[in-house]
A and B are shown apart, each in its own frame.
Chain A
Amino acid sequence: MTPDILDDVRRVVTHTLQLGSRGAHLTAESPLLGALPELDSLAVASLIVALEEHFGFAIAEDEISAATFSTLGDLTAFMAAQGHP
């Protein structure tokens, strides 16, 4: 997994959910969905938009599932795959 993309995804997640110092401690293994109380359906939608804006490409919605948001690493792998289809 590219460390650069992981850093970018961590930054977008931290800002969108306003995790503050908790964001800095997120690793690829850190669980997101179910572990972060901030991550409700509104936040998931905001996060998708923020990721698209940050990376500059549209995310294929039908490829998103709850597993996409399982851990920070899962989300990073998903974004990497979306950027290089």
Chain B
Amino acid sequence: MTPTWIWYLNRATGIVALVLMTLTLVLGVVVQRQRRLPGLPRFGVVTLHRNVSLLSALLLVVHIVSAVIDSYVSISPLAVLLPFTSAWRPLPVGLGTLAVDLLVVIVVTSLLRGRIPVRLWRGIHWTSYALWPLAFVHGLTAGTDLGSGWALGIALACAGAAGVATALAWTGRDTNPADRAPAALAETTSALARGARVAVFRNR
């Protein structure tokens, strides 16, 4: 028998990883919609999106390693990458495995973003929207104690945030690029007429 803290570690990293993946998705939509967060320039949102996603990937490594070495559930090292080969709840664990496989591809292509065609990267990045539900269902079904309530609450809150963000992302950009310049012109003209300073660029 492995000590129980491994089980706790496994559960905690799983839950936090889901929260961080949700945050990554929301930040990704902020990037895609070219919006800003208070106090952050636009490139800061991009960096935050990347760093939060890498942090969630790191937590997933701990989550996976702890699941494999925990003797309470029987998950072979092979089942980490090959879906539906786990002895313990093959279907729920398999969904998590699929999510991990997708995640590896998304992280690797994002790290190589400058060296691969943008279209390839973007096509693969869209699969993030498949990754999140896989991870969500995995979290609800593979766990051993969902009953206590607060874990379910966190999961449902994440689902709500991810759902809203996804809906926003798929409705597309709110401005046509060709309409941005006239809008900026009107904005600056009225600012100068009021005597407001316009020397600062938008990202401050």
Q: Do A and B bind each other?
A: no
Hey, which bits of chain B sit against chain A, CB under 8 A?
none
Hey, which bits of chain A sit against chain B, CB under 8 A?
none
